[in-house]
Amino acid sequence: MPSQALFSRNVKAFLETRGLRLKDLAKGTQISASHLSLVLNGAKGLSDDMKDRIASFLGVPLSVLYSEELPELSPWETDRTRPSLQDRDRMRLRQVIDTFLDLIRGHDFRAPFYLATGMLNDTEARTVRNFLATVIKELQSHTSMVIADTVALEEPEKRLLAACHIAGPHARSEWVLATANLTEQAFIELASNLQARGLITLAESTDGYRVNLSAAAPQFPLSCVYTQDKIKAMYLTLARAMEMYPDSGPFFQLRLARCLLRAGLIDQASFRFEHAARLFEKDGLFTDAADAWHKAALLRRMIENRREEAILLCEAARCMVLAGEGDAARALGSLALSCATEDQLSDLTADLTAEVCLRMGHAFFDRDPVGALRWYRQGLKEQHLARSYTHGALLCSSISCLIELTRLDAAEQQCAKLEDWFSGQDSADPRIGFLRCNYELLTGIIHLRKRKWVAAKQRFLSVLQDEHATEAHRAAAHNNLGMILYREGRLQEAKEHIEKGAGPYVDNPAHPNIAYNQVELAKIHARMGELEEAETLLRKAEQILNERNHNEIGWIRLTRSSIFKQQNKLRQAISCARQAFDYFRKSGDERDSACAALWLSKLLEQQGDLQESRYWDNCAFTVYQKRRWDLRDLRKDVELLELETASLATAGTGHGPPLTARTEYGSPVSVQTEGA
């Protein structure tokens, strides 16, 4: 007999013997009755999954339904929970279920378990059996100890142990006392008793006593002792005690946030996660900070605040960038963008998308300017927001990014778009005034990079007189203006401006802008012949910068070469000049590379190596001739490396990371500062 015919005959026999209808089989297997009718009459076939479901419903192995001879059939037992055929695998599953229900005292759930597992196919049944067997092993390893210990404890002792469990390790005694709802005297007596029995430990600290559960303490689930409402109330009591008797540092805030979350206070928990994130950032623990920001974002999702969720995800991404995890940061940025596509934000989608792109661009600016520019451009694609403040901020930030990448022509094109954007804005709006000031500064930097000294100087002076200029704006303008004055030979004025440029960062001596400022001042001192002061500043800058700051390291080497030349240490001067050229070449700055090449040529000529001197001389002038740049600028750059008491140090060629000017008006806009 064909296999299909055998299958149909045996299924019909099982149904008839057990008094089941085709409708019962259809309901139990979730296969339509009409389809089953065609199958059992040989008109249609069945998939393997459907065959498994039928065998599971009947409680027999699939092989039985293809048997030539049917085994002895008997009706199901009256409770209709067990199969009549004693299949070995199914019997094992039933035994595992019985053991599990005995351990959890769930005898009343036996029938539903049998019915549910009767719907499983053989593969699913084995998976369930293995899972329950693992659970049983864990339960059996702890249950006897838990039951014995908890029964042996008095109710106040159980309450105190539960409070210790909730408060966690190294908890202040005040937290545990409040959570257990005990008087101070009762707490002392119970804690002493439990410590004597080896269940808890008390350790004296500068702020009182700390309580810990010992390894011998019973690890019983709280739900076995208290209702969920009671547990939530205990966490709330603990949270209030922690707020009254706080510890310091980000880990305490993280602990309090988790406690508030278990108490059901989502808004307060989110606030504490954010506070913890800021403290982690302050301590330089950026991965921990990103995790805290991410948790706060997830809580915002729980209360369906998609805008806040997106912003917090951007904060998490920024910290991952600082931690050197660029891929993880991009993944978080993608999650933030997905928040903007939620149906609930259909009217605000474009605005939120643009803001996320702005924030993500800022996050990547220092480490990956190409990646930052990609984010800015994605935000600028939201054309129907072309008149919004966020669009203007994106334009401004993309200009700063293009300057950082030395793509000055593209930066000027974006400046034209930004100028057009200003024409439709309210000039009385302080936010627009802020962007206008930012635009003036960036335009000045472009002029400075293109050696348009007069135009650049006018822009920087305009920034210094602008009422909307922030401290960061003024610092950048002072620094850049000082370098122009240095080039003009106005020594004292240049020095004063450059020193003012360090103003916003004096409280943060490790800030990169401090290093750029120190390099500029070192060039001034070297030009004046104050070599010891110059070398001291260069060493300080080296301690702040890293090898990724190719251009700045290049200027340190070139300035040091100037110092060695004045000390008649020609060999060391040549070595530093070679290093400077290599760093400038890595940074991609052709003007600085040409300056280092021509300086090296002069040193080699002085040493008497005329052949190599001509080679480097040719390298320098070829770059300027190819770019059709003014050769007088090249000669002036090299001249400023020489000792001269009548004029000041060299104008930098426009390198350094952005300052971030933050205001009360929204997202930050990057402000480029010129550096060594």
670, containing H or E segment? strand 669-672
Residues ≥6 apart with Cβ < 8 Å to 656? 512, 513, 516, 552, 672, 673, 674, 675, 676
Query: Amino acid letter at 234?
Result: M
Would you say how long the chain is, in residues? 676
Residues ≥6 apart with Cβ < 8 Å to 611? none
3-state secondary structure (DSSP) of residue 669: strand
* DSSP code for 650: P
pLDDT at 324: 92
Topology agreement, domain 229-478 and domain 508-672: yes
Q: Is 19 left (phi over 0), alpha (psi -120 to 50) or beta?
A: left
Beta strands 658-661 and 669-672, pairing class: antiparallel
Give dist(CA 580, CA 271) in Å, integer. 48
* DSSP code for 660: E
Q: Is 608 left (phi over 0), alpha (psi -120 to 50) or beta?
A: left
Query: Amino acid letter at 455?
Result: A
Sheet holding 200-205, edge to edge: 171-172, 208-213, 200-205
* DSSP code for 659: E
CATH classification code of 153-228: 1.10.10.10
- Residue 590 has a CB neighbour count (10 Å cut-off) of 17
- DSSP per residue over 47-103, as a string? -HHHHHHHHHHHTS-GGGGG-SSPPPP-PPPTT--S-SS--HHHHHHHHHHHHHHHH
Are the C-beta atoms of residues 214 and 198 closer than 8 Å to each other? yes
Q: Which CATH superfamily is domain 229-478 in?
A: Tetratricopeptide repeat domain (1.25.40.10)
Tokens at 76, concatenated: 């199901």
Give dist(CA 328, CA 338) in Å, integer. 15
3-state secondary structure (DSSP) of residue 213: strand
Give dist(CA 208, CA 53) in Å, integer. 64
Distance of CA 364 to the CA centre of its chain: 11
pLDDT at 32: 83
Domain 3-85 has CATH 1.20.120.530: no
pLDDT at 174: 92
Residues ≥6 apart with Cβ < 8 Å to 530? none
Could you tell me which of 373, 352, 300 has the C-alpha nearest to residue 667? 352
Are the C-beta atoms of residues 558 and 599 closer than 8 Å to each other? yes
pLDDT at 646: 41
pLDDT at 251: 93
* Domain residue extents for the chain: 3-85, 90-149, 153-228, 229-478, 508-672
3-state secondary structure (DSSP) of residue 306: helix
Could you tell me which of 540, 573, 554 has the C-alpha nearest to residue 642? 573
User: Mean pLDDT in runs of 10 for the chain (676 residues)?
Assistant: 79 78 80 83 78 79 75 46 51 80 70 70 78 77 47 75 87 91 88 85 84 74 74 92 92 94 92 95 94 94 87 95 93 88 58 90 91 92 77 93 90 92 86 92 93 92 92 91 88 87 82 87 89 92 82 92 93 94 89 94 93 93 90 90 56 36 33 35
Angle at CA of residue 394, ends 391 and 400, nearest 5°? 150
Instruction: Give the ranges where 588-630 is alpha helix by DSSP (H).
Output: 590-607, 610-627
Could you tell me which of 663, 656, 654, 674 has the C-alpha nearest to residue 365? 656
Q: Which CATH class is domain 508-672?
A: mainly alpha
Residues ≥6 apart with Cβ < 8 Å to 362? 318, 372, 397, 660, 667, 668, 670
Are the C-beta atoms of residues 62 and 51 closer than 8 Å to each other? yes
- Residue 392 has a CB neighbour count (10 Å cut-off) of 26
Are the C-beta atoms of residues 202 and 210 closer than 8 Å to each other? yes
Are the C-beta atoms of residues 514 and 505 closer than 8 Å to each other? yes
Tokens at 6, concatenated: 């055998």
